[in-house]
Structure 1
Amino acid sequence: MKKFLFLFILGFICWNSTLAQPEVKVIKMEQLEAMINHTSGKTYVINFWATWCAPCIKELPDFEKARDTFKSKNVEFILVSLDFANQLESRVIPFVKRKNLKSRVVLLDETDYDTWIGRIDPDWEGAIPATLVVNSQSQQRKFFPKGLTYDDLVKILQSFI
Structure 2
Amino acid sequence: MRKLHKVEAGQMMNTRWIMLGVLVAFCGCGKGSGPQPAMTPPVETVEATPERTIEITTKVMDYQGIQMLVDSYRGKVVVVDYWSTDCPPCIKELPGLVEVHNEFSGNDVKCITVSLDYIGLADEGPETYKDKVMPFLLHVGATFDNIIAADDSETMLKKLELAAPPAVMVYGRDGKLAKRFDNEEAASEEEGFTYAKDIKPLVKQLVEAK
Q: CA RMSD in A?
A: 2.6
* Higher helix residue share: 1
The 1:88–1:137 alpha-carbon spacing in structure 2 relative to 1, beyond 3 Å, is same
Q: Residue 196 of structure 2: which of 134, 150, 156 is its match?
A: 150
Q: Residue 107 of structure 1: which of 148, 166, 178 is its match?
A: 148
- In the alignment, what sits opposite 1:38? 72
The 1:26–1:156 alpha-carbon spacing in structure 2 relative to 1, beyond 3 Å, is same
Instruction: Return the alpha-carbon distance in structure 1 between the equivalents of residues 172 and 158 of structure 2.
Output: 19
- In the alignment, what sits opposite 1:28? 62
2:113 alignment partner, SS class: strand
Query: Once the 2 structures are TM-superposed, how far is the Cα of residue 61 of structure 1 from its aligned partner?
Result: 1.9
The 1:23–1:136 alpha-carbon spacing in structure 2 relative to 1, beyond 3 Å, is same
Query: Once the 2 structures are TM-superposed, how far is the Cα of residue 30 of structure 1 from its aligned partner?
Result: 1.4
Query: Once the 2 structures are TM-superposed, how far is the Cα of residue 148 of structure 1 from its aligned partner?
Result: 2.2
Larger Rg belongs to: 1
Instruction: Return the alpha-carbon distance in structure 2 between the equivalents of residues 27 and 74 of structure 1.
Output: 24
Instruction: Return the alpha-carbon distance in structure 2 between the equivalents of residues 40 and 100 of structure 1.
Output: 25
Query: Once the 2 structures are TM-superposed, how far is the Cα of residue 126 of structure 1 from its aligned partner?
Result: 3.1
List structure 1 runs of 4+ shifted beyond 3 angstroms.
Answer: 116-120
TM-score, normalised via structure 1 length: 0.74
Aligned residue-pair number:
142
1:102 counterpart letter in structure 2: T
Q: Which moved more, 1:150-159 or 1:27-36?
A: 150-159
Instruction: Return the alpha-carbon distance in structure 2 between the equivalents of residues 157 and 145 of structure 1.
Output: 16
Instruction: Return the alpha-carbon distance in structure 2 between the equivalents of residues 94 and 79 of structure 1.
Output: 14
Q: Which moved more, 1:133-142 or 1:75-84?
A: 133-142
2:144 counterpart letter in structure 1: S
Percent same amino acid at aligned positions? 23
Higher RCO structure (Cα 8 Å, ≥6 apart): 1
Unaligned runs of 5+ in 1: 1-15
Could you tell me whether the CA contact under 8 Å between 2:78 and 2:170 is conserved in 1?
yes
Instruction: Return the alpha-carbon distance in structure 1 between the equivalents of residues 158 and 72 of structure 2.
Output: 19
Could you tell me whether the CA contact under 8 Å between 1:25 and 1:106 is conserved in 2?
yes
Query: Once the 2 structures are TM-superposed, how far is the Cα of residue 151 of structure 1 from its aligned partner?
Result: 3.4
Query: Once the 2 structures are TM-superposed, how far is the Cα of residue 53 of structure 1 from its aligned partner?
Result: 0.8
Q: Residue 129 of structure 1: which of 160, 166, 170 is its match?
A: 166
Instruction: Return the alpha-carbon distance in structure 2 between the equivalents of residues 76 and 99 of structure 1.
Output: 17
2:94 alignment partner, SS class: helix
Unaligned runs of 5+ in 2: 1-5, 12-53, 119-125, 184-192
- After superposition, give the CA deviation of every residue in 1:62-98 in whole Å (9 maximum; x if it has no partner): 2111111112251111011111115423311222223
Query: Once the 2 structures are TM-superposed, how far is the Cα of residue 22 of structure 1 from its aligned partner?
Result: 2.6
Query: Once the 2 structures are TM-superposed, how far is the Cα of residue 17 of structure 1 from its aligned partner?
Result: 4.4
Instruction: Return the alpha-carbon distance in structure 2 between the equivalents of residues 150 and 87 of structure 1.
Output: 33
The 1:21–1:145 alpha-carbon spacing in structure 2 relative to 1, beyond 3 Å, is same
